[in-house]
């Protein structure tokens, strides 16, 4: 996992490393003419990602549950880049109804879509079901992004075909995908409270992010679409994502501070994978500290990738039918 590079900040083959910042990895890149959606762009590394994209000239759509925080993030962006184009749309990824409403609202704007960054998430939550009756971490971190991506995919493909500019989708995963349930995804016990572990459920959802990216990448290649899909581990960063385990993380950080990043460093890998010209045509890969790394064996399991896709499609279809009934 490039542990030596992580600790030392030594740059990898990409020319960047764990100490690189989002501004550094996008220096000199002109993103004007590009439209990007960033889920969870109201705080943490999502907010920094939005700021840097706006700084490079992109039209940024912040998809956020907390509209006040999103407006604060927009205000901060405009202080850095007064000419920035930033719009805010409400999105609660734990609700499939909200995901569909967001997609409808965005599509009604008749905008192109070049880049989708599936950044938002929850972490180490006490056992809880979403409004749709799905374990909350799986619902928010994976299922909401799965549906959102599918709803926006045609627009991305049409934009890429019309402009000749490659579309890019980035799923924010985590090194935590290594710490999941024994079988990776517990399809039959997903909502079982007795099987629930807040840490393993988070790892399961982050494994799902990589599996989703890899399966979608395969499907887009077969379709001949000019859209790439990759997943990233942003690193250990103290953000609101850790609100359910703040004391534990503060304690751990005291003994492992050399592994932690600040927010500008945490946003670097996302911005690198989404914008850097050296990654043109690169798809179905996993990145760590702005360099390609090998994820877990489960994450590379093609049968598990397809199984998760089929399972996710089935859930979305069933829940949609229930809403219409």
* Residues 6 or more apart whose Cβ sits within 8 Å of residue 279: 168, 228, 230, 272, 273
Q: What percent of the chain has pLDDT over 70?
A: 89
pLDDT-derived band of residue 261, with 50, 70 and 90 as boundaries?
A: confident
Note the pLDDT tens digit of each residue in 110-163. Answer: 999 999 999 999 999 999 999 999 999 999 999 999 999 999 999 999 999 999
Other C-beta atoms within 10 Å of 32: how many?
9
Beta-carbon-side half-sphere exposure of residue 131 (alpha carbons within 13 Å): 11
Per-residue exposure over 89-124, b if at least 16 CB sit within 10 Å of its own CB, e if not: bebbbbbbebbbebbeebeeeeebbbbbbbbbbbbb
Which domains are seen in the chain, by residue range? 3-324 (3.40.50.720)
How long a stretch of residues is the chain?
325
Per-residue exposure over 242-280, b if at least 16 CB sit within 10 Å of its own CB, e if not: beebeeebeeeeeeeeeebbebbbbbbbbbbbbbbeebe
Residue 196 annotated as catalytic = yes
Least Cα distance to 37 among 167, 141, 142 occurs for: 167
Contact (CB, 8 A) for 39 and 146: no
307 vs 36, 280, 314, 319, CA distance in Å? 29, 28, 11, 18
Give residue 259's pLDDT: 56
- Cα separation of 276 and 259, whole Å? 25
Q: What is the mean pLDDT of residues 303-318?
A: 97
- With a cut of 70, say whether residue 249 has pLDDT above it: no
pLDDT-derived band of residue 1, with 50, 70 and 90 as boundaries?
A: very low
- With a cut of 70, say whether residue 2 has pLDDT above it: no
β-strand pairing of 227-233 with 85-90? unpaired
Give residue 80's pLDDT: 86
Residue 291 pairs in a beta bridge with 288
Note the pLDDT tens digit of each residue in 69-108. Answer: 999 999 999 998 999 999 999 999 999 999 999 999 999 9
Mean pLDDT of the chain: 92
- With a cut of 50, say whether residue 206 has pLDDT above it: yes
- With a cut of 90, say whether residue 248 has pLDDT above it: no
- With a cut of 70, say whether residue 195 has pLDDT above it: yes
Catalytic pick among 181, 196, 202, 257: 196
115 vs 14, 125, 287, 321, CA distance in Å? 21, 29, 17, 30
Q: What is the mean pLDDT of residues 240-256?
A: 50
Give residue 25's pLDDT: 98
Give residue 323's pLDDT: 61
């Amino acid at each position: 996992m490039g542990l030596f590079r992580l600790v030392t900040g030594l740059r990898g083959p990409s020319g960047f490393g764990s100490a690189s910042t989002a501004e550094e990895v996008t220096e000199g890149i002109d993103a004007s003419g590009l439209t990007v959606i960033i889920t969870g762009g109201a705080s943490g590394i999502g907010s920094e990602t939005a700021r840097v994209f706006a700084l490079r000239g992109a039209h940024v759509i912040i998809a956020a549950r907390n509209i006040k925080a999103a407006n604060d993030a927009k205000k901060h962006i405009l202080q850095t880049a007064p000419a920035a184009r930033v719009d805010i749309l409400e999105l609660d990824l734990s609700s499939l109804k909200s995901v569909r409403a967001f997609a409808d609202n965005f599509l009604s704007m008749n905008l192109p879509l070049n880049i989708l960054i599936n950044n938002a998430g929850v972490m180490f939550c006490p056992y809880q079901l979403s409004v749709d009756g799905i374990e909350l971490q799986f619902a928010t971190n994976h299922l909401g992004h799965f549906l959102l991506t599918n709803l926006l995919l045609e627009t991305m493909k049409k934009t890429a075909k019309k402009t000749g500019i490659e579309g890019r989708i980035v799923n924010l995963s985590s090194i935590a995908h290594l710490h999941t349930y024994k079988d990776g995804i517990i399809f039959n016990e997903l909502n079982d409270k007795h099987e629930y572990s807040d840490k393993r459920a988070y790892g399961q959802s982050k494994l799902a992010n990589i599996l989703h990216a890899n399966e979608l990448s395969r499907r887009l290649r077969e379709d001949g679409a000019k859209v790439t899909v990759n997943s990233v581990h942003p690193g250990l960063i103290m953000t609101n994502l850790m609100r359910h385990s703040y004391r534990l993380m503060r304690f751990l950080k005291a003994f492992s501070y050399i592994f932690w990043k600040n927010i500008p460093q945490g946003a670097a890998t996302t911005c690198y994978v989404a914008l850097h010209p050296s990654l043109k045509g690169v798809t179905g890969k996993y990145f760590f500290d702005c360099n390609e790394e090998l994820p877990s064996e489960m994450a590379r399991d093609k049968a598990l990738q397809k199984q998760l896709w089929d399972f996710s499609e089935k859930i979305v279809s069933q829940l949609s039918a229930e809403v219409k009934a």
